[in-house]
Structure 1
Amino acid sequence: AYIAGPSSIPTSSQLDVSYAENPFDPNLDPNLFNSQQTATSVVESDFIDLAVEHSSLQRIGPDRRKHFVLFDKMNDASKAKFIEWWRTTVRGSEPETQREPLVMCRSCGVSLPHPHSKQSGTNTMKRHLSTGKCQKASRNLATQQSIIQTMQHAAILESSRATNFSQDEWEREQIECITALNLPFRSLARKQLASLVRMAQRAPTEPTLLHPRTAQRRLKKIVYEEHHTILSTLPPNAKLSIALDCWTSPFQQAFMAITGYFIDQDWNYRELLLGFEPLNGPHSGVNLSEVLMEIFKKHDISDRILAITSDNASNNTTLVQSIQDSIDSLNLPSSPVVVRIPCLAHVIQLSLRELLGSVKADPQNDTTDTNFSNVEAQARSLHASESQ
């Protein structure tokens, strides 16, 4: 067997090649499967490259190909030997059937007649893709239809906006919205509201508002992401200070606000609200420390606390000591020491209250009555003199 190509130039020695009496080698049969080839099979690079087809060779393969295979005619003995060997193989032992070459679509796996079996070209595959039977073609068609429908809907929506919009109704809707929600009139001047309206105008279809519970979940996620972004600016091996205070609402609901302070890598002052946690049970130092430690673990800052600032209540001393014990129990390599800093404003307030109480300077009422009768008479006389 030989591989012939148009680019090779024949020589006289190549054209006068003498052929053996039995040139057939089963290992070189291109119709054999890989499992039926022997270990002595040769690759294409071992074939002799001929530019002109010899008269004793027969061309095997489709026309109009750059490279093709040439075989010489086998004699009767080699044919009989090959047939005897072929019948011992798995494919040769099967009943003889007339089969045609096929091609398979990579998208849907459907087998189609090979173009060279009955006709030339790729019309069979083109018809398969254009009739909608192929899954890939169906998906592409569905995508195109979806795009067309979106564009048509946008055009209809744009035309409906132009015909149904009324400036008077738009202003009335704004007034009804802020009055129903008990919002101040200044809300209409907020840039966030204007940005929301502009974003709604860019939507291909009419946007829907979030469900209240969905808005709560999204808000928690956004807050957590913002916390992570701000804390990522904390320099390596740097620490942050914590300030906390407890507050009770008029409905007797207690909360503890936890705020973090630090200087970032660019020497900018940064602060963030780490938590506004509800409190249950007595406000003892141990209970408050448990809430505070949960916040530290949530943001992974248990080993980066420098100091805690709080008021001068007695339970805050117990709180800081309990926080220190909890951090020590984590067996952190840095072994941080938490410093308690009393609130300076609270210290000044307590000092002034004690001072004013000792001098008995407490007022009897919250307001002072003023008599404006003399002032009013002087103003009238001055106005009369200017008129003259």
Structure 2
Amino acid sequence: MLRHKISRRFTSTVQKIDYKIQAQDVPKNATIFSMIQPTGKFHLGNYLGAARVWRDLCAFKQDDQKLLFGVADLHAITVPKPNVEEFRQLRIEAIASILSCGVDPLKASVMYQSSIPQHSQLHWLLSTFATMGYLNRMTQWKSKSNIRDAVIDPASIGKVKLGLFSYPVLQAADILIYKATHVPVGDDQSQHLELTRDLAEQFNTFYKTDFFPLPKTILAPTKKILSLTSDKKMSKSDTNQGSVLYLSDDPEIIAKKIRRAVTDSISTHFNYDPVERPGVSNLINIVSGIQRTSIENVEKDISKFDNFKDFKSYVTEVIVEELREPRLLFERYMQEPDYLDSVITRGTEEAAEMAQRNIKEIMNIMGL
């Protein structure tokens, strides 16, 4: 026990990337895993927070590195999906979006989570280590259940589905089934990565093994992208679709959404102040993320603007140019279902081989 506690205390588990991930940020023998929910076509937050980082990782991949990127369709059904055909379409659009963002299927295995049964199998094995107390401290199941304080509201807890409550354990299984060493995620997932490391450490300690590495969190360099009309995170589920920028939006739609983006009454200058000027700050953050530069540099670039029209035109131009290629590629891939099927088949076969090899060893360690 002491050996593992010492390693956790003195070894950093979170790696922050400045603006753009570089080859030296990831070891030569790293196994990198990440997934995204099948909400269909990606929005700007998905792109800057996840998919573009995946593209960067593909760009400098070395032969002894492994990259696995997938669509978390098992996680998606923790919120019921009664429209089955729509759900199938969203899964396909998610794959097309991953590829349109520049992920190379010859360098990375791209697959559906549900196609690899070992994810669910390891989920059960790890659930024998996960405690109700630890899972109860997780925040996302509470927010998705509209629970503010689970401790004093047992009636609300009683309505929570088991899958939603325990899905952080499945997320841990997603990562550990490939013995992933690095996981690029947004900061809202850091809590779940801590659980992953905790479960890996418990397993290793209990069975006196070092089978599971303790995966590092790679935090995407871009701050959270907010809705264009509120202080909430940009989300496809937003009832106001004018607040969401999709990779498939054409330039005219992007321009219209930016023109209507909520800002404030100060038009003589534009500065980053998330508290006093959240709308303007969100647009500045978007430009900073796209250009891979500091907030300060963006502020210098926009200091010449003294009206909202010019400022928003500049923001629009930056976004349109960045999303031009992903938009065209998404349209192309959605017209090539056979190609998408071939990518999924290849990725599934590669991932399944790794997962089966690892689950066999895990069960052997456990005496199964």
Coarse TM-score class (shorter-chain normalised): under 0.3
* Structure with the bigger percentage of strand: 1
TM-score normalized by structure 2?
0.19
Q: Which fold has the larger relative contact order, with Cα–Cα distance below 8 Å and residues 6 or more apart in sequence?
A: 2
Larger radius of gyration: 1
TM-score by length of 1: 0.19
